[in-house]
Structure 1
Amino acid sequence: MDGLRLSARDGAEPVEAFIGRKVMDIWVASVAHRVGKQSLFRGQYNALGKLNLASIERIVSAKYQLGVTLNRQHPFVEVLVSDIEESGEALDLSELVREPLPPAFHRLA
């Protein structure tokens, strides 16, 4: 699983949440208006996760509360692009640093 994994508790019960790398890329692109650009690196989506923890917590909590209606088998919440869009949560990109790709990674026209 390549993405942001979060651990929480509902009372004594552990809860796991996951936002896939591609979902994070789409969320960033929707804010930064950089569709089709480079994917986030692990350090970048981890830093974004920490910076936006309150927003992510609200998204995960809202989906977790739906529990049984989503046919969830165990306390695991996978955040989808649709969950983010429905939440209306804003992503803070103020600390996102994008390093330029080395020439070997650029597509040839």
Structure 2
Amino acid sequence: MQEEIIEKKYTQAHECPITLFMEQIGGKWKPVIIWVLLLNEVMRFNELDKAIGGISQKMLSQQLKDLEKLDIVIRKVYPVIPPKVEYRLSEKGKSLEENLKMIMSWSNQNLK
């Protein structure tokens, strides 16, 4: 099965699983958000905002919504006042850990 995937020739960029991954989970902020949640397990919005330098609250909110739609992040709202919202990775999100570690390792060795 894996050899089949590697040997397949893609005639369109959108057919390539790597392109799809990079379009949906790549970018400037999503990998950072995923990594911070991997390290912290459960975080509130303001904790994420403080942990990720340079991201606006609007951008953080949008990126979290995108990751939630992809079933990478779970958003839990508690019925209390003031509102309490927590973010955590789904099992699907947690499954990215080893891949992100490999990307980080490769990047540290090759992109400095």
Q: Same fold (TM over 0.5)?
A: no
TM normalised by structure 2 equals: 0.28
Give the number of the structure whose alpha-carbon radius of gyration is greater.
2
Structure having the larger proportion of residues in strand: 1
TM normalised by structure 1 equals: 0.29
